[in-house]
């Protein structure tokens, strides 16, 4: 007979111990150890050949047949782009993001195109069939080949997969799924891990791609063990700001493509719309000829995106002037202000300084430094940076403008959106092709003072 023992598992990191601790010895979190009852009998089919491999037999690399990877197109090219060109057969994709960001919405929309040719099984443990139907009606999803299954028992889902043999399976969400042989509750580390493992074996065994929705916890990590990220083939993060309608899809891991691509969407009242021209969206409604504004170009993955940086410097009524940065690093703002004072002779010490990046985008890249400096000086001097001027470059502590990567892509994007005068680091000039150099006025600058001269 199988022995039963009790074990304590940290719900944050997966650490296991026969003894209970108030504070997890591994991750240091308090009150995360939960009791689980384990049988000494191993869960069925823990090990096995994956994806057609013969069990226990090693094959020579040269003897393994090359099979062209088959990818399903989802009809949302931004989604396909992030996946590296579509959903690969037999792959397991984890889609994660904050609650309400649009994970269920995007997957239901994907079902519409996929369902034209392929059989899709959408297993939901979160919503009732009526709720899903309502949403599908709103999104215009009418696909005949789409089956909805509202179930939380993974074994039943896997059984259905085996009997119905769908071409694609969607699981929404893994935190609601349960394996009845485990004693812990749904959403616990063990449940999440074992359910994923079970789905993974089914996916690899039957060569069916599975998209799994995962929630994130309050720190923004995938709720459940970190091991989940190791198990699956692809991890996608769906991100967005609460007050803005645009959403960015990113790959954090991809066994079948690069992680440099991003997809941009906008949440509308009838679902998500692809945004093929994010820069245009970011620059919409820009005031003409106003001081304190300059356009920056940052890379999001392999994609250059333009964003407007606004600076405002007003005389301060307090002994300690205020500094505020929205969408830009606060400490970096202080560094730029110090450099402007010491190396440029622009004094902000009795000024309140506010910096805002329009559109809710965050400029983490140092390449945004130059446009930040320009918008601040523009506000201080009440001088306008003309509307068709764009600047990028990293600012060093000596007041020098240092080169940045992907110069050609940035300049091309700026030209495409109608910018005529582009201020870039001098060292970057030699990386530009002749055609690019000829298609706009491109000014290479070595020090911040040269940039101010050129722009203001």
Hey, what are 70's tokens?
Answer: 């088959």
Residue 135 found at the interface with ligand TYD (CB under 6 A): yes
- Which range, of 17-25, 102-110, 175-183, 285-293, touches ligand TYD by CB under 6 A? 102-110
31-39, 135-143, 183-191, 326-334 -> range binding ligand TYD (CB under 6 A): 135-143
- Partner from Mg ion, ligand TYD, none contacting 273, C-beta within 5 to 8 A by type: none
- Axis crossing angle, helix 129-139 with helix 103-117, rounded to the nearest 10: 80
- Residue 99 near which of Mg ion, ligand TYD, none (CB within 5-8 Å, type-dependent): ligand TYD
Angstrom CA distances, 67 to 70, 235, 251, stand at 9, 24, 24
- Please choose, from the candidates 196, 178, 50, the residue with its C-alpha nearest in 3D space to the C-alpha of residue 125: 178
3-state secondary structure of 381: helix
Among 104, 175, 188, 310, binds Mg ion (CB under 5 A): 104
φ, ψ (nearest 5 deg) of residue 174:
-65, -25
Return the residues of window 196-225 that contact ligand TYD according to CB under 6 A. Answer: none
Q: Which is nearer to ligand TYD, 215 or 332 (CB)?
A: 215
- In angstroms, what is the minimal distance from the CB of 222 to ligand TYD? 13
> Among ligand TYD, Mg ion, none, what binds residue 63 when CB lies within 5 to 8 Å by partner kind?
none
DSSP per-residue string spanning 212-275: EEEEB-TTSSBSS-THHHHHSSEEEEEEE-TT--EEEEEEEEETTS-S--EEEEEEETTEEEE-
The residue among 32 and 104 lying less far from Mg ion, judged by its C-beta, is: 104
Are 197 and 231 in contact by the 8 Å Cβ rule? The answer is: yes
CA-wise closest residue to 94 among 261, 273, 230: 230
Interface with ligand TYD in residues 270-299 (CB under 6 A): 270-271
- Find the shortest distance in angstroms from Cβ 170 to Mg ion: 11
Stretch that binds ligand TYD, among 149-157, 268-276, 281-289, 330-338 (CB under 6 A): 268-276
Could you say whether residue 112 binds ligand TYD (CB under 6 A)?
no
Smallest gap, in angstroms, from Cβ of residue 272 to Mg ion? 13
Residue 376 to residue 342: CA distance in whole angstroms: 15
Among 99, 285, 319, 345, binds ligand TYD (CB under 6 A): 99
Q: Which stretch binds Mg ion (CB under 5 A): 41-49, 60-68, 98-106, 317-325?
A: 98-106
Residue 212 beta carbon to ligand TYD: minimum distance, rounded to whole angstroms = 13
Q: Which of Mg ion, ligand TYD, none is residue 202 near (CB under 5 to 8 Å by kind)? A: none
**Burial letters 129-142, b for 16+ CB under 10 A, else e:** eeebeebbeebebe
Spatial separation of the C-alpha atoms in residues 134 and 141, rounded to whole Å: 10
Per rule CB under 6 A, count of chain residues that contact ligand TYD? 15
**105 interface partner picked from Mg ion, ligand TYD, none, CB below 5 to 8 A per type:** ligand TYD
124 lies in the binding site for Mg ion (CB under 5 A):
no
DSSP 283-335: HTTPPTT-SSEEEEEEEETTEEEEEEEEEEEEE-SSSS--EEEESB-HHHHHH
- Is residue 422 within 8 Å of residue 443, measured between CB atoms? yes
Strands (E), 65-219: 71-72, 87-88, 92-97, 120-124, 146-150, 168-172, 210-215
Query: Closest separation between CB of residue 99 and ligand TYD, Å?
Result: 5
Chain residues binding ligand TYD by CB under 6 A are: 97, 99-105, 135, 138-139, 267, 269-271
Chain residues binding Mg ion by CB under 5 A are: 104
């Amino acid at each position: 007979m199988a022995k039963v023992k009790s074990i304590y598992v940290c719900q944050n990191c997966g650490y296991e111990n026969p003894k209970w601790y108030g504070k997890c010895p591994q991750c240091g979190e308090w009150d995360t150890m939960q009791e689980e009852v384990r049988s000494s009998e191993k869960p069925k089919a823990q090990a096995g050949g994956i994806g057609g491999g013969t069990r226990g037999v090693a094959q020579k690399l040269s003897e393994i047949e090359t099979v062209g990877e088959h990818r399903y197109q989802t009809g949302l090219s931004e989604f396909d782009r992030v996946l590296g060109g579509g959903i690969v057969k037999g792959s397991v994709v984890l889609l994660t993001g904050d609650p309400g960001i649009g994970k269920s919405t995007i997957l239901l929309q994907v079902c519409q195109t996929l369902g034209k040719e392929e059989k899709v099984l959408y297993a939901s443990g979160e919503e009732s069939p009526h709720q899903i139907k309502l949403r599908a009606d709103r999104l215009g999803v009418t696909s005949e080949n789409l089956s909805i299954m509202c179930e939380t028992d993974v074994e039943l889902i896997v059984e259905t997969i085996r009997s119905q043999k769908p071409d694609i399976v969607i699981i929404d969400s893994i935190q609601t799924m349960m394996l009845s042989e485990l004693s812990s509750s749904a959403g616990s580390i063990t449940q999440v891990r074992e359910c994923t493992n079970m789905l993974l074996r089914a996916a690899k065994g039957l060569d069916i791609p599975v998209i799994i929705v995962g929630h994130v916890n309050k720190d923004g990590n995938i709720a459940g063990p970190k091991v989940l990220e190791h198990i699956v083939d692809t991890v996608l993060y769906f991100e967005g700001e609460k007050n803005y309608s645009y959403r960015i899809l990113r790959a954090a891991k991809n066994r079948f493509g690069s992680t440099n691509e991003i997809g941009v969407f906008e949440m509308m009242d009838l679902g998500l719309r692809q945004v093929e021209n994010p820069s245009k969206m970011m620059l919409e409604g820009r005031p003409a000829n106003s001081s304190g504004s300059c356009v920056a170009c940052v890379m999001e993955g392999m994609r250059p995106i333009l964003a407007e940086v606004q600076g405002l410097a007003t005389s301060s009524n307090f002994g300690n002037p205020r500094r505020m940065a929205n969408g830009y690093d606060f400490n970096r703002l202080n560094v730029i202000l110090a450099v402007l004072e010491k190396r440029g002779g622009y004094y902000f010490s009795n000024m309140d300084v506010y910096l805002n990046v329009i559109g809710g985008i965050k400029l983490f890249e140092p390449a945004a430094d130059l446009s930040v400096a320009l918008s601040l000086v523009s506000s201080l001097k009440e001088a306008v940076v003309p509307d068709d001027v764009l600047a990028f470059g990293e600012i060093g502590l000596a007041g020098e403008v240092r080169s940045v990567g992907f110069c050609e892509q940035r300049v091309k994007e700026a030209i495409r959106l109608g910018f005529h005068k582009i201020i870039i680091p001098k060292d970057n000039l030699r990386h530009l092709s002749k055609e690019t150099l000829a298609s706009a006025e491109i000014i290479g600058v070595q020090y911040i003072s040269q940039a101010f001269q050129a722009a203001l």
